[in-house]
Structure 1
């Protein structure tokens, strides 16, 4: 049988809105660890948050759904996602 999606997917995500200075990165790491998602998250100079998530599609869907809400103090306006094959990331970290 043909399976169009590999077992693990890489999602490159950009979150915009009021997402810096509200604990977004720490909360993202907490949620990723809870779900077993690998990758990283960082603030960008333009005020967005950038994240990379790796895992199975069902788990990534949950993680990205969480990104649309974020922590309580966040006001998410947009979540842009680009998918590709997983790179084999392990663990989750906050960068920069």
Structure 2
């Protein structure tokens, strides 16, 4: 099990990015959360096995919604927590 914080910059707010990310996590079985940041970026806390996380990050780079334009992604390792599901937060 691996846990990361993913910071996504670009046109990622107001385009359904959080909702389509949540659908992607359900398909890949990733736990954690996603939220909009005041600077216009989106932060994702994601937890899954390493192979699944890699696939998830690659999908985020391509954007889970056609309306977003991902410019940059930063991934930072975190300690594993006891996430049971994936949620969308404000």
Query: Structure 1 length as normaliser, TM-score?
Result: 0.90
Alignment RMSD, CA only? Answer: 0.7
C-alpha distance in structure 2 between counterparts of 1:18 and 1:84, whole Å: 25
1:75-94 CA-to-partner distances (Å, cap 9, x unmatched) read: 10000000133112110000
Structure 1 stretches of at least 4 aligned residues deviating more than 2 Å after TM superposition: none
Q: How many residues align?
A: 89
The gaps in structure 2 that reach 5 residues or longer are none
Query: 1:77 — aligned with what?
Result: 71
Larger of the two Rg values belongs to structure: 1
1:26-50 CA-to-partner distances (Å, cap 9, x unmatched) read: 0000000100000000000000000
The gaps in structure 1 that reach 5 residues or longer are 1-7
